[in-house]
Structure 1
């Protein structure tokens, strides 16, 4: 389909709600070029493309966070050139960003109503503030959240819901949602879609940026595809085949990961028994085996991330034991179990890393990256010994390793020296992943590893995970995307209220059974946990 040179009028002859004319943005090189597009009243326009294709840049231009190098916009029939996010919000153009904009030191209620706090004579009316916050939270199904709670105490998924609620204002005319469901479960996603339907009925235009193509087919009226900063396709969403859309996004064939047999798991490499911390993780028993991927599902706040943090030493366990065994290099299917306990109950992430454990964190911005540093520094910092001799960095070797990692993960960048903060969100996520590929850990913990990653890059990451399991590594993958877990995992555990309540083997799960376990359906009968399908290690002190 040919790309329209200028935005088309609405079918009823009225002007579009938002019109973009030949927008472009240059940094060191052009990142957006000659984009012309229209958003109609009451329309959901999906915006998709690979990481670095220009989606976030275009969204930020619309919402006043970035100024275009060329081109212009109309809001209705009025020239629209917001100089800041506040200017855009003043005329009803709002954005839920992929990187959250909450103030961590303020409460949930204060974040929700930061620009319209109810006051009298300069004093904050807290009772009214909390009542308004409860109404706002109810729109997205968060009635159980205390509005007085500091927002920093919420999980990243709950913070995402607060950010969405903050932008569901009555004066909104255009709402831009940048990967809004990346950290949400199906339940939270359904609440969001209900709100989008209400916005459409009010005539609000929604620009929905996402890599989850199954969501676009559920929610979008039209889809616009960006590639290398240019608009390559605009078409109605109805009838669009996923494979066709992927081809337009990446410009190349993408390996599909469909149904697969269960991998032949080797001996247990990591074992947790009775692991707990306060009430957030309660008495978890868990085995991770060489040559397999175990998934971890559950609702937001179920304790998935908290369990991963305990396994990595980022939080200190109150009770229970973690044990790491030798034998990470053993291939899958090995019948002789490892016999040597090498580490356990580490007190810090550094101890866990030295023992052979890595973590791809869910929050790359605050926990996963050195944003002012280069790709090279971020990718190799996990194992400086591999790129140094006698305490001196071997820069040539470091650059060579960085180039290999950049090529393997298809990180879109000018070079390994590019500062990480200037990369797109998805490419930043790949840099986090590159760090642990460089380290070659025995056990890799992955907390929402494909958050904000496009379909092409996701296929590359999946292939790398397959390579790791083929080499005898043990992987634990936390994901809010059940489809992803069912594609990649050999076993899926379900967390609820801090407990590991069920473990399903490949071939014995479904969307319904996983969701039933997450919601506490008493009729669910999971398989035993931990799995007894692999050899049990003989412990020697």
Structure 2
């Protein structure tokens, strides 16, 4: 086979679910030894296309070809038999089994008597991991592994099946920057071995670093396929949303008022120490730093989830005690956590119930919730935040990531806070939804809300913050005004190379 020939093609594929047109005549080709990035907003059709390659969905119109011959993928087993493997954001492994057992699940090597040849299985897995330069014990239970290591097990499993096409669906969403680089090293190695890789990601900086070609989908339709070096990040965004997105970071002017919150020498043993800062009315104070720097841990203390061992917190000049989240809420502090699924939302509750959850006491009389008031309150914030849904009775689980995040914001805004702590508020949502969340944050600051913005995305922190506080290994390593905060200064402080 010539290097230029595609190993698999989707030609004019269309797929409809009821009234929803998920894919509209999409073309896509994957070549051996190439990383092909697939990007688009939520609802653009990426997941449907991935499931088509996995054999879960079949096209209503159009066809799939492999080595120029038409194929039908009726189920995942058929896709796997043809050398197609899909690695999802959340690994699907058996947690109680070890690494080798997971890799050979359902196809253990047998000896002449038909018994499982355990020695051979462990030996083959050791060789496989060594070929990937992966340092994992073949006998380690999967439940004790990090998400990054579990994904490496999934990759090893795929290669053991002689995979020719590897589909990676948001593989870096839960990984630290260091783990991302380790994964990229494996991906580059697979590319050199001739594997065709489809890489689905919201993170455009990763696509610029890794991809050879990029395909953009919008509203189920193919927009463009081009060499990665031919598409700037701005161009990709423009193709994704169908317009110029100069407003990705719509930071408006806000009147900065008096100090609302002050932390003096906050310390939590083994986590962070001597953290001091002020937060003013109408200000967005960005918290930056590398993973593990202590940013989220400080936020948890400010919201009463954890207790500081020493130091004081002042609200409008008066010392306060934050012994619980309820106490923090009474003082007008709200916290939107990093993991909206685990800590921010009740996925099987409606939009209405999610928004009003912290206020059920106020909305109840004699133990019964006033449903009319509850609906009115939820409707007010859903409209204010432009939550796109089929109605307020829609379950949170059925919303897109961006709309889920808006519901979490609505829940805490309904408590009418004076201080809002946002921990990674745009993680895992698409470009268009990020712009909307940024607009909401800017509007809230303009209304006088004091905001702490914790983000690992440096462009977001720099563009949205009035001041940037940088942490390194549990200590404040720098504090920069908006004009002084740039990538070089912040990164130098984040890596401990600059004093305050």
TM-score, normalised on structure 2? 0.80
Unaligned residue ranges in structure 2 (runs of 5+): none
Contact 1:63/1:82 (CA < 8 Å) preserved in 2? no
Determine the structure 1 residue equivalent to 2:499: 526
- CA gap of 1:15–1:222, structure 2 versus 1, over 3 A, is closer
Cα offset for 1:450?
0.6
After superposition, the C-alpha distances for 1:308-348 in whole angstroms (9 at most, x for unaligned) are 3333233x3361245351xxxxxxxxxxxx3444x42323x
After superposition, the C-alpha distances for 1:143-180 in whole angstroms (9 at most, x for unaligned) are 799x969867x8xxx63x33442333234433333334
CA distance in 2: counterparts of 1:200 and 1:267, whole angstroms: 54
Unaligned residue ranges in structure 1 (runs of 5+): 1-9, 326-337, 528-541
After superposition, the C-alpha distances for 1:66-94 in whole angstroms (9 at most, x for unaligned) are 5666655345446252634x765565433
Contact 2:251/2:439 (CA < 8 Å) preserved in 1? no
Determine the structure 1 residue equivalent to 2:268: 276
**Does 1:79 find its partner at 2:66?**
no
Contact 2:13/2:60 (CA < 8 Å) preserved in 1? no
Cα offset for 1:48?
1.8
CA distance in 1: counterparts of 2:282 and 2:421, whole angstroms: 14
Contact 1:130/1:148 (CA < 8 Å) preserved in 2? no
CA distance in 1: counterparts of 2:238 and 2:411, whole angstroms: 29
Determine the structure 1 residue equivalent to 2:13: 22
CA distance in 2: counterparts of 1:359 and 1:123, whole angstroms: 53
CA distance in 2: counterparts of 1:392 and 1:58, whole angstroms: 46
Determine the structure 2 residue equivalent to 1:51: 42
After superposition, the C-alpha distances for 1:48-81 in whole angstroms (9 at most, x for unaligned) are 2222222233323333555666655345446252
CA distance in 2: counterparts of 1:447 and 1:123, whole angstroms: 49
**Does 1:427 find its partner at 2:403?**
yes
Determine the structure 2 residue equivalent to 1:246: 237
- CA gap of 1:181–1:407, structure 2 versus 1, over 3 A, is farther
CA distance in 1: counterparts of 2:329 and 2:44, whole angstroms: 34
After superposition, the C-alpha distances for 1:217-275 in whole angstroms (9 at most, x for unaligned) are 33323322222223333333333344443333223453243898897463042525333
Cα offset for 1:276?
0.6
- CA gap of 1:13–1:178, structure 2 versus 1, over 3 A, is closer
SS of 1:435's equivalent in the other structure is helix
Which residue of the other structure, out of 357, 360, 365, is the alignment partner of 1:381?
A: 357
Which residue of the other structure, out of 395, 418, 421, is the alignment partner of 2:394?
A: 418
**Does 1:319 find its partner at 2:309?**
yes
Which residue of the other structure, out of 301, 309, 321, is the alignment partner of 1:344?
A: 321
- CA gap of 1:106–1:490, structure 2 versus 1, over 3 A, is farther
SS of 1:175's equivalent in the other structure is strand
- CA gap of 1:129–1:311, structure 2 versus 1, over 3 A, is farther
Q: Which moved further from structure 2: 91-100 or 112-121?
A: 112-121
CA distance in 1: counterparts of 2:468 and 2:129, whole angstroms: 34
Cα offset for 1:281?
3.5
CA distance in 1: counterparts of 2:394 and 2:377, whole angstroms: 15
After superposition, the C-alpha distances for 1:488-521 in whole angstroms (9 at most, x for unaligned) are 123333333333443333333433343333333x
Contact 1:23/1:68 (CA < 8 Å) preserved in 2? yes
SS of 1:57's equivalent in the other structure is helix
SS of 2:49's equivalent in the other structure is helix
Determine the structure 1 residue equivalent to 2:470: 494
Which residue of the other structure, out of 129, 152, 166, is the alignment partner of 1:165?
A: 152
| Correspondence list, 1:203-218, <5 A | 203-218=194-209
Contact 2:251/2:438 (CA < 8 Å) preserved in 1? no
RMSD (CA atoms): 4.1
**Does 1:362 find its partner at 2:353?**
no
Cα offset for 1:486?
1.4
Cα offset for 1:446?
1.8
Contact 2:99/2:141 (CA < 8 Å) preserved in 1? no
- CA gap of 1:91–1:461, structure 2 versus 1, over 3 A, is same
Determine the structure 2 residue equivalent to 1:533: none
Cα offset for 1:131?
7.7
CA distance in 2: counterparts of 1:199 and 1:17, whole angstroms: 17
**Does 1:461 find its partner at 2:437?**
yes
Determine the structure 1 residue equivalent to 2:221: 230
Cα offset for 1:458?
1.1
- CA gap of 1:202–1:271, structure 2 versus 1, over 3 A, is same
**Does 1:257 find its partner at 2:249?**
yes
- CA gap of 1:130–1:34, structure 2 versus 1, over 3 A, is closer
TM-score, normalised on structure 1? 0.75
- CA gap of 1:201–1:358, structure 2 versus 1, over 3 A, is same
CA distance in 2: counterparts of 1:193 and 1:418, whole angstroms: 38
Cα offset for 1:483?
1.7
Determine the structure 2 residue equivalent to 1:41: 32
Which residue of the other structure, out of 183, 186, 193, is the alignment partner of 1:202?
A: 193
How many positions carry a matched residue from both structures?
487
After superposition, the C-alpha distances for 1:345-379 in whole angstroms (9 at most, x for unaligned) are 323x3333333222222222222221112222223
- CA gap of 1:135–1:265, structure 2 versus 1, over 3 A, is farther
Contact 1:112/1:162 (CA < 8 Å) preserved in 2? no
Cα offset for 1:192?
3.5
SS of 2:103's equivalent in the other structure is coil
- CA gap of 1:381–1:129, structure 2 versus 1, over 3 A, is farther
CA distance in 2: counterparts of 1:517 and 1:134, whole angstroms: 37
